Every structure is written in structure tokens, then in C-alpha cells.
Chain A
Amino acid sequence: MVMDVIVGLVPLAPLAGFLLIGLLNKQLRPWLASLVACGSVLISFLLSIVLFFGMGEQQSFTFTAFEWIAAGDFAVSFSFLVDPLSILMMLIITGVGFLIHVYSTGYMKGDEGYNRFFAYLNLFIFFMLLLVMGANYLLMFVGWEGVGLCSYLLIGFWFKNTEYNNAAKKAFIMNRIGDVGLILGVIMILIHFGSLSYPEVFAQAGDIDSGVITAITLLLFVGAIGKSAQIPLYTWLPDAMAGPTPVSALIHAATMVTAGIYMIARNNLLYTLAPLALDIVAVVGVATALFAATIAILQNDIKKVLAYSTVSQLGLMFLALGVGAYTTGIFHMTTHAFFKALLFLGAGSVIHAMSGDQDIRNMGGLRKYLPITFATFLIGTLAIGGLPPFAGFFSKDEILASTFVNSPVLWIVALVASLLTAFYMFRLFFLTFSGQSRASEEVKGHLHESPTSMTFPLIALAILSAIGGFIGIPSVFGGGHALNNFLAPVFAASHEVAGAHHLDHSTELILMGVVVGLTLITIYFAYNLYVKKGSVPAPESAERTGLVRLIYNKYYVDELYEKVVTQPLNFLSRVTDTVVERLMIDQLVNGTGKLVTWGGRTLRLIQTGNTGFYVFAMVISIIILFVVKTLI
């Protein structure tokens, strides 16, 4: 009973925060708004911890708040599922979310939409919690759409700038394109399984034809492609950097984009029963990982590099899921949440210090001005590079190991992507923090370390990035892989069907060594290029040719979409407007009005006012009445 209340309160607290701040927007002082916002997320975090420890023997339970839809045969209840996967997600969302809320109090200080920002952040937390806690597809979908909405609101937060609005629209629309697949998948689930709640669907999964399951899983994956920015629906994520940096950290690094990962992990049984879909997931994931990594090595905006890095890392997560290593995918998602959020917040700190400039060609030498940011950013970079003993090493290594078991080709591609990751991240780090400052005198005058509200989350996340990997120490090092044991009940059914692949320890160690060695070489190469030689990327107007030009312009994907999708749609819309709307529908509707007016104008001519005419009309009417009377 107490557990029920706790489960209900977890999403309720941020919702209450949103309503309070949102409705009393103008009356609240900023400090009060941020207090309410941070407080509500903190409450959710603490309650999630209680749930984590209070689960005890039970592996999962469902709490139904109320019967939501009851229409004939179709019934959906508003119920929350609490099991290891959802608890883990809750902890990440509320924990990292709380740190980002605290960070925002410093970052957004003085902004005229301060209260609105916190309201939207709280709303986002609420919807994300709905997404991961929902016990049926419909509630998950509500959360799915809700986070898309909040993403739109927050990307276009500084709405007076049209560019930002366009970026927000792009994000939302691309999400929606993916959502078509998701909805179709959910509808197919309803048709074939007869129910939308997880336990019922998974119980029947074995009896359904595998072609149907493949179709369903592919459609669900389309939704994940949109939400988690895989090829071909990834272009919204770099543009989404138009939003404030805490937004990029929270939504586009740690939580929203991981919704796709969560969904596939949740539906692991279905995916295991459709090996074709899993293969497609793996291929798409690794292709995206490589593709985005290549783009990132030439980007010069600090946030764009991190954005492409996110796309790439998500690709790696999908690769992990695609080879059947579900726990690994979740593991990497967790560690990625830590260090990516850290990197983004650090970038925000840098931008804050550089008075809004985001171009790394103008940075450099920030080490002595921003020591805490420097240190935490270094930890983050080491983590994402995959160097032991930081968090990223354990998770990424596990991905590579699992991929190697499945297919060496994929392993090689993933390896290249990882090496590129290390390269561009250290490129970013060196260009930003090392050497001499390339900033103008005016900007140099303002360089200062961020306030405590901003550095405290940085430190907290750095600690997590450093030790976070230890929840998944693999058996090769003698660890018990706590995460694996924790999440075992969630993926038990899949492992029964597919059987677990295991790598023998010696191969694993060899692979590990190879990877770490190559990574160190790459880092040294980057160090050489950017610190020793001090080379700086060319300015915007420089001549670029061939492959460099192609990659620098992000393979012209945006332009391609513009030509192939946007322009035909605009044309179609114009045609529909002029032909269907104006010539047909308008004529029809206006015609009705004109008909009435014309009718009135014609009928009034009967009223001539002439008495003789009236008598005449009377006589004619009498005649007609007589005729009618005798004929009928």
C-alpha cells in the first residue's frame, strides 16, 4: 500500500511542480520557482531510491492508478510497472535530472523566461517518467509524445529567434515521422495480441506468427529511429542544440533520446523472437555510429560536436541491443547519461564563460580560467573515450565484446567508430582547454569560473562518470557484474529463447587490450596535432575540397532532405491550396451563401407593393388550390 503511494508520487511530484510554476508563472519569484522545481525532482529521486531498496524479494509489481479507457472490448488502465529496468531508468532520469535542474538555476539566471524554463523542465521529467513507468504501450506512447512536446518547447525556448523555432519544429516533426511507425506497431500489437499491457503481450508472444512479430518490431524501431536520432531521422539532433545547454544535456543526451533504447529493451522478448529485426537494429546502429563520428571530427561548434557524439553513442547502444546484449545496451545508456550530461554541462560552463561564443576556434587555454570545468570535462572525455577505469570503458568494452561474438565485421566498424570518438572528443578537449587563448580581449576579460550552482552538478557527474562503471564489472576481472544480476529478471525470457553468448575470457582480454591500445594511440595522435603542433581548424570561409568538404557539410544530408522531402511537400501543399481549397471547396461553401443571397434577392421581387398584383396572386392561388383539391 505504501509502495503504491510512493509509486504514484514519483511522477506526480514533477507534474505538481509544473502546474504550480506554470500557473503562477508571473507571480513567482525566480528563487521560489527554482526551489519548487528542484525540490519536486529531488522528491522523485529520493522516492525512486526508496523504491530501489524497497523492492526486496519482488521482482516487479504493477500499481494501477485508475481505469483509464473502457470502450467495449478495449480497456486500458493508467498503471505503472515497477521492475528493475524501470527503477533504473527512474533513478537516472530523476538523478541526472535533479543535477541539471540545479545547474540551470545558475545557467539560466537573469533570463526573462526563467520560471517558464523550470516549468517545462518539470513537465519533461513527468512525461519521461510516464514513459518508463507505464505498464502498457498506450501510457508509454503518452510519455513518448509528451517528451517530444517538451523537447519542442525547450528547444524553441528563446522563441524570439526564428532559427530556434525552426529547429524546434524540425525536432518535433522528425519525431512525429518516427511516431507513425510507432503507432502502427502499437496498433498491430493491439490487433494481434488483443491487449496493450506489457505482461499480457509478453505472455502471448510465443504464440504469434514470427512474420507478424517482425513487422511489429520493425515498426516500433522506426519510432525509435525518430526519437533516438538514428539514420535517417537524426538531423534534428544537431539542430536541437539551439536550445539552452541544460536542455541539451537533459533531453538530448541523458534521457529523451534514450527512450528508444528503453523501448527496445522493454520489448526484448519480441525482438528476440524476430532475429531479422534485431539484425536491422544492429546494422542501423553501427552505421549511424560510424557516420556521425565521421561528421563530428570536422565540426567546430562545441555543442554540435557533442550532439554528433550523442548520435554516434546511441548508434553503439542500438548495436548492443541488436546483437542481443540487452543489459550491455542499458549499461552503456547509463554511463552515457553520466558522462554526456557532464560534457554538455561543462560545455555550458565554457559557453557561459565565453559570453555566449560556441566556436572552439576562438577558445583555447581555458584551463587556467576554468579549473573545475577543466577537470570535470577531462574526466568526461576520458570516460567517453573508453579508458579504464572510467565508466565508459566498461560499457563500451562490453559492447565491443558482444559484437565480436556476433559478427567480426560489425566489430571492426564499431571499433573504428570508437576510435573516431576518442579522436574528436580529445580534439574538442585540446582545442578548448589547452594552449593559448585565442579569444578576443573583450571576451578574455570576462572569463571566469562558473558559480557553485553550476560546478556542483559538474563535480557530482564527474564522480559518477569515474566510478559509475563499477556497477558492471565483468566476470573477466572477477567482478560479479551487479547490473547484469539486477536486470536479469527483465531479460530472462529473452535469454531463454536465444541463449546467451559468451566470450571466453582470454579472447575478451585480448580484445580489451587491443581496443585500449588503439585508443591511446589515437589520443596521442590528437595530442600531437592539436597541442604540440597547435593547429587550429580553418575558419568558416576557408576553401575545402573533396572529402573534407563533403564531411564538413555533414554529407549534405539536410540539403538532400530539403530537396527530396520538403520541397515536394510544399509544392503539393501549394497545389492543394490553389486547386482544391480555392477552386473547389471555397466555391462550394461560398456558393451556398451566394445561392441563399441570390434566392432572397429574387424572392423579394414578389413584393411589388402593388395591390393589383397581390389580388392577382390570390386569384391564381385559389385556382391552384381548387385544382389540387379536385385532383387529389
Chain B
Amino acid sequence: MSLYIFYFLAFVAVLSALMVVFSRNPVYSVLYLVITFFSVGGHYLLLSAEFLFAVHIIVYAGAIMVLFLYVIMLMNLNNESEAPKKTPYQFAAVISGGLLMMVLVGAVRGAEQAQVGLGADPTIGTVKTLGNMLFNEFLLPFEVVSVLLLAAMVGAVMLGKNPLRARRYTPKTTTRTGADDQEKDVTIENVKQLTNE
């Protein structure tokens, strides 16, 4: 029975992954990717990784995909403005992908048909177990990851900052009149104008 669930989830995952790759519209790709994430999350449940399932959905489907959608919206990528690659390149891509598949499958061909469950412990996916491991064996990576996230935040903010906006602010003179204030409001209409100046 679980085998059927597995096959179903696997099928959904592969299908939506293919659709991610081959959709014209980027927004469609995002949506298909969300479906893929959900199916992979389902696999996690099957493998008794409940906590990971939750985190997976929250982080990936909830945060990362939303980020992608924002960016797509920002860039107005609704229209299919992307010209496809030239045909030979497409072929090359598909063939190399196929080759890679063959190689990967061939690499594990000889391995025996292993049955999951040698000493399968259903509690390994619980918050308690994971928390234990995180704070005992993997304490250092845990702390370092927090620093990593800080760095990512700082980086993202810095990169996203409008460099010209800072220059537009001129220091106030001693006599303050309304005309001296050079700051202009940044709105959707004049953002292009402001950034190009």
C-alpha cells in the first residue's frame, strides 16, 4: 500500500518538475514548483520526518516561492519575453541530461535491492530527537548557520538598496527654507526617472 502512495507521490513530483522546466510562463513554473515541493514533503512524511515536512513547507513553499513570485512580479515577467534557445542547444541540453541520468543509474545499478527499515525507528523525525541532535552534536554548525543567515540578510539588503537614493539627500543649510529641501518622493511613476539620473 505504501508502495502505491510512493508511486503516486513520485509521479506527481516528476511530472510537476518536468512542467517547471518546460513551461513558457515563469509564473506557471513557480506554481508547478510549489506542487513539487508539496509532493517531496509528502515523501518526507512517508519517511517519518514530520518536523522536516513542516519546515520544508514553511520555508520552501511559504517563503522561497513567495520570494520568487515577488521578483517575477517586480520584473514584469508575465509576458513570454524569453526566446527559446537555439535547437542544437536544446538537443545538447536534453542529451546531456539523459546521459547524466544514465550515469547516475548505472552507478547504483550493482547495489542490492535494499529494504528500508533495518532498524527503522519511527521517532527519528520528531522534534525532540532532532532538537537533541541539533543542540548536542551539531551545535557549532547551528550557530554558524545563524551567522550565515545574518550575512545573507545584510547582503540582500545591501544589494537591494538604491545607490542613487542616498545621494539625493543634501545636507541642510543653516537657514532652513522649504525650497532647500531637495528630497523627492519615490513613487512607482518616477522610480525609473530617479534611478536613471
Contact = CB atoms under 8 A, between A and B. Distances in A.
Do A and B interact directly, with beta carbons closer than 8 Å? yes
Interface of A: 612, 616, 619-620, 622-623, 626-627, 629-630
A622 B97 CA distance: 11
A629 B93 CA distance: 23
Which of A612, A626, A629 has most B Cβ within 10 Å? A626
Interface string B96-138: 1101100110110000000000000000000000000000000
A619 B100 CA distance: 8
Contact of A616 (B96, B103, B106, B107): B96
B103 A627 contact: yes
Nearest to A629: B107
Contacts of B159: none
Contacts of B107: 626, 629-630
Given A630-B106, A630-B107, A623 B99 contact: yes
A620 to B, nearest CB: 6
B109 to A, nearest CB: 9
Contacts of A619: 96-97, 100
B93 A616 contact: yes
A616 B99 CA distance: 12
Interface in B69-119: 85, 89, 92-93, 96-97, 99-100, 103-104, 106-107
B93 A622 contact: no
Contacts of A626: 103-104, 107
Contacts of B89: 612
A630 B104 CA distance: 10
Nearest to B96: A619
Nearest to B100: A623
Interface residues of B, number: 12
22 contacts: A612-B85, A612-B89, A616-B92, A616-B93, A616-B96, A619-B96, A619-B97, A619-B100, A620-B96, A622-B100, A623-B96, A623-B99, A623-B100, A623-B103, A626-B103, A626-B104, A626-B107, A627-B103, A629-B107, A630-B103, A630-B106, A630-B107
Contacts of A616: 92-93, 96
Contacts of B85: 612
Contacts of B97: 619
A630 B100 CA distance: 13
Contacts of B99: 623
A622 B92 CA distance: 15
Nearest to A619: B96
A627 B107 CA distance: 9
Given A616-B96, A626-B103, 17 more contacts: A612-B85, A612-B89, A616-B92, A616-B93, A619-B96, A619-B97, A619-B100, A622-B100, A623-B96, A623-B99, A623-B100, A626-B104, A627-B103, A629-B107, A630-B103, A630-B106, A630-B107
What 5 A-B pairs come out closest when comparing CB atoms? A626-B103, A623-B99, A619-B96, A623-B103, A623-B100
A612 B89 CA distance: 10
Contacts of A623: 96, 99-100, 103
Which of B99, B104, B106, B107 has most A Cβ within 10 Å? B99
B94 to A, nearest CB: 12
A630 B85 CA distance: 33
Nearest to A620: B96
A629 B103 CA distance: 10
Contacts of A620: 96
Which of B89, B93, B96, B104 has most A Cβ within 10 Å? B96
Nearest to B89: A612
A516 B76 CA distance: 130
A612 B85 CA distance: 10
Contacts of A627: 103
A253 B96 CA distance: 92
Contacts of B93: 616
Nearest to B106: A630
Nearest to A613: B89
B107 to A, nearest CB: 6
Contacts of B106: 630
Contacts of A612: 85, 89
Contacts of B104: 626
Nearest to B85: A612
Nearest to A625: B103
Contacts of B100: 619, 622-623
A620 B106 CA distance: 16
B84 to A, nearest CB: 12
B85 to A, nearest CB: 8
A627 B92 CA distance: 18
A616 B89 CA distance: 10
Nearest to B104: A626
A623 B105 CA distance: 12
A108 B100 CA distance: 93
Interface in B27-71: none
A632 to B, nearest CB: 13
A143 B93 CA distance: 81
Interface string B145-169: 0000000000000000000000000
A629 B104 CA distance: 12
Contacts of A622: 100
A619 B89 CA distance: 14
B99 to A, nearest CB: 5
A275 B92 CA distance: 92
Contacts of A629: 107
A612 B82 CA distance: 15
A543 to B, nearest CB: 92
Nearest to A630: B107
A424 to B, nearest CB: 97
B194 to A, nearest CB: 30
A620 B100 CA distance: 8
B61 to A, nearest CB: 26
A629 B89 CA distance: 27
A623 B106 CA distance: 11
A465 B96 CA distance: 105
Which of B85, B92, B93, B103 has most A Cβ within 10 Å? B103
A616 B91 CA distance: 12
A622 to B, nearest CB: 7
Nearest to A624: B103
A630 B93 CA distance: 23
A622 B102 CA distance: 12
A623 B103 CA distance: 7
A622 B103 CA distance: 10
A583 to B, nearest CB: 44
A326 B42 CA distance: 120
B19 to A, nearest CB: 21
A593 B99 CA distance: 39
B82 to A, nearest CB: 13
Contacts of B92: 616
A620 B89 CA distance: 14
Nearest to B110: A630
A623 B99 CA distance: 7
A626 B106 CA distance: 10
A612 B106 CA distance: 26
A626 B104 CA distance: 8
